Every structure is written in C-alpha cells, then in structure tokens.
Amino acid sequence: TQLTARGNSVAALLGSASGELHLAAGQGSVSKFVLEAAGLNIANAAFVRLFGDRQVPLNCLVADFRLDEGIALPRTFVLDTPDATIAVTGAINLQGERYDLTLHPQSRGVRVFSLRSPLYVRGSFGDPEVGVDRRSVALRAGAAVVLGAVAAPVAGLLALVNPGGDSGSPCAGLQRGARR
C-alpha cells in the first residue's frame, strides 16, 4: 500500500488520496441470503428467507485499488465463497462520498429461477441505490417466454436455470496479484 494525501480530517485525507491500496482477507463469513440475492437466485433466496439464513465461510476477499485524488478504481475486487464468486467493477468517489459499482456474481452449483444479472450500487454513501441491470433481466425473461411458447412450458424454465460455474477458488492467484 502506497498512499499520499493532504488534509486535516479523515474525510479530507481520503478525498485527496492518490496511490495504491491492497486489501486481502482470508477468514470470515457472509450471509447466504446476501449471496443468493446478489446472484438473483430467486428460489434459493426465498428458501433461505423461509427456513433461516446461515453464514457461508469466506474463501477470500481481495481488493486492489488505484486511487487518484480520492477516486478509487478497483483493478481487482473479488469476494469468493464456496457458494459464489462476486467480482466488483466501477469506482468509489471518496471525496464526493459516492458509489458507482457493478457486482458480477457467479454462482457455484445449480440455481433454479436465477436471473443472472449484474447488480449495481450507485449513489451516496448515506443513501446508496441498489438495483439490477434491467436489460439483462428482460433478455433472460424474454428467452424464457419464447422457449416456453415454442418448445413447451417446461423448456421455458431452462433459460432461468444457472448450471453453475467452475468450482475452483481464484483466491491464491488473486492474493498473489494483489501483493505486487
């Protein structure tokens, strides 16, 4: 980590910070509901809400930021668990106290009724707006309708099934890269 900053308060120092910031965590946990909701895994999120949340162990959280006059740009920003990997892109404006981030979740394992859309976090630190990429959700829902109308109602559900991704954790490579 190499940062330069000026000011007489934490807010002023963060708002003027330039340099590099590397963060890595290899222990901890995250809510199962948060992971399912981030992946827009509707059925799984509903199941967790109905039968209780649990904590999922954290494989790693790795963040490598370039800062320029209070604007933090992630070169790498990944949260990895046994259930999902979430990559984050965008920017954090520390001077204006605003987010403009996109979360790209990748679930592991089969998920039924998964809309698999990026999420965004925008707005101020005090009142962030969290939403989905409506275009991506609309395309997936449209594919389900077309498949259902053309093939059969059951085939329409195929557009909403996420077969899961690679089960390997990217942590070792990410942590080496963040230490550069």
Q: What contacts 132, CB < 8 A, 6 or more positions away?
A: 40, 115, 117, 118, 119, 120
Taking Cα atoms as reference points, which of 124, 116, 24 lies closest to residue 77?
24
- pLDDT digit string, tens, across residues 79-88: 888 877 888 9
pTM: 0.67
Q: How many CB atoms within 10 Å of residue 10?
A: 9
Are 148 and 155 a contacting pair, CB within 8 Å? yes
Residue 120 in tokens: 């965004």
168 falls in which pLDDT band (50, 70, 90)? low
Residue 85 in tokens: 């990997």
174 falls in which pLDDT band (50, 70, 90)? low
- pLDDT digit string, tens, across residues 55-92: 888 888 899 999 999 999 999 999 888 877 888 999 99
